[in-house]
A and B are shown apart, each in its own frame.
Chain A
Amino acid sequence: MAMQAHDIEALIRESFPDASITITDLAGDGNHYAAEVIDESFRGKNRVQQQRAVYAALKGKMDGPAGELHALALTTKAPA
């Protein structure tokens, strides 16, 4: 079961209500997306911590047997 861009944005929005979220469909197959998340909560965190928080927001939709989303290219940062 593939995912739509707005599904991904909604899931991330749940955990990051004030973030600027940009989802790009990389392959049109509902399985390969890029997501940029810019949020104040990332300030002072390293990339692994930032991206872990975004993966947590996706609640297991990522890779693995139950994962619908095979590829999500993540870019995260605090607002400039």
Chain B
Amino acid sequence: MTETTDIASQIQQTITANDVVLYMKGTKEMPQCGFSSRVAGVLNYMGVNFADVNVLADDSIRQGIKDFSDWPTVPQLYVKGEFVGGCDIITEMTLSGELDTLFDENGVAYDKDAANKIREANG
């Protein structure tokens, strides 16, 4: 098994074992990039239980996750093993309510009032 398949299978295991996974720069408590911080912030504010993976802690994961999803940037959000998007897409989906729908459809618990507050705050 070459090194890359190890990374890919490692990632596959993580996104299968956890309903919601955020590959990010830094951690959910200490994000280290504005975009990662925004997505982690939305998930924290909405009370979503998610696994955070700090790509800065492991360069092979930092590159591996981009190859895995054919997506060149971090953060990357996965729900039930499916790649949902990066910061722009998650922001759009939060404001449009599509993220609520996605969580509802996948049985992911979140705070509906908090989601509404985000939309109200963003007018």
Q: Give A contacts to B, CB under 8 Å.
A: 47-48, 51-52, 55, 58, 60, 62-64, 67, 71, 73-75
Cβ–Cβ < 8 Å partners of A73 in chain B: 87-88
Contact among A55, A60, A71 with B71 in the assembled complex (CB-CB below 8 Å): A55
**Distance of A60 Cα from B67 Cα, bound (Å):** 12
Inter-chain contact total with CB atoms closer than 8 Å: 37
Q: Which residues of A contact B58 (CB under 8 A)?
A: none
Task: List 22 A-B pairs, Cβ < 8 Å.
Answer: A47-B85, A47-B89, A48-B83, A48-B84, A48-B85, A48-B89, A51-B86, A51-B88, A55-B73, A58-B72, A60-B72, A62-B73, A63-B66, A63-B72, A63-B73, A64-B62, A64-B63, A64-B66, A64-B72, A67-B72, A71-B34, A71-B35
**A20 CA to B42 CA, complexed, in Å:** 31
Q: Give the secondary structure class of A's interface.
A: mixed
Interface residues of B (CB under 8 A from A): 34-35, 62-63, 66, 70-74, 83-89, 92
Which residues of chain A come closer than 8 Å to B66, judged between CB atoms?
63-64
CA distance A55 to B85 in the complex (A): 13
A44 to B63, CA, bound (A): 30
From B34, B74, B83, B92, A63 is in contact (CB under 8 Å) with: B74
What residues of chain A lie closer than 8 Å to B84, measured between beta carbons? 48
Does B88 contact A75, Cβ atoms closer than 8 Å?
yes
Assess whether A51 is in contact with B89, with CB atoms less than 8 Å apart.
Answer: yes
Quick check: B72 and A55 within 8 Å, CB to CB?
yes
